[in-house]
């Protein structure tokens, strides 16, 4: 699978999902939230497992080429994205926020942190 550009008709959606990821990250880690930009993701055309039609997966990597987040846009209008945050929860001291996730379909976007118990 070769790297490819996100099709023009999906760019606006991709930007919106990045904005929601960023807003959620700032909500939980206002001083540590990473900048999340669509242009920094490397996209690959993938096959949507539910129907065999083309979809797109973008991946963000850090300076050491470690995966930092991903964005999947499926052919049926659904999407899912996550971005690593790795900070203590600001109101729940026994929890870490591992990542911020967003998902939805047809313009509806939902978001939440993915939590891990602090040991």
Write out pLDDT tens, residues 47-73: 987 788 889 999 999 999 999 999 999
- The structural domain count of the chain equals 1
Instruction: Show the CA angle centred on residue 36, arms to residues 83 and 88, nearest 5°.
Output: 50
- How sure is the predictor about 1, in pLDDT bands with cuts at 50, 70 and 90? low
Q: 92 is in which domain, residue-wise?
A: 3-117
Q: What is the pLDDT of residue 90?
A: 87
Strand-strand pairing, 3-4 and 108-117:
unpaired
d(C-alpha 49, C-alpha 51), whole Å: 6
Give the residue-averaged pLDDT of 1-6: 70
d(C-alpha 94, C-alpha 39), whole Å: 35
Is residue 23's pLDDT more than 70?
A: yes
Q: Could you read off the pLDDT of 73-119 as tens digits, one per residue?
A: 998 899 999 999 999 888 888 999 999 999 999 889 999 999 999 77
């Amino acid at each position: 699978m070769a790297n490819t550009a996100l099709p023009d008709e999906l760019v606006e959606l991709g930007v919106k999902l990045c904005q929601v990821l960023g807003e959620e990250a700032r909500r939980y880690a206002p001083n540590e939230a990473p900048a999340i930009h669509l242009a920094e993701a490397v996209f690959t055309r993938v096959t949507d497992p539910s129907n065999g039609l083309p979809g797109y997966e973008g991946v963000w990597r850090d300076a050491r080429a470690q995966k930092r987040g991903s964005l999947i846009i499926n052919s049926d209008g659904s999407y899912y994205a996550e971005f690593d945050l790795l900070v203590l929860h600001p109101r729940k001291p026994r929890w870490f926020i591992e990542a911020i996730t967003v998902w939805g379909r047809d313009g509806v976007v939902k978001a939440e942190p993915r939590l891990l118990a602090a040991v």
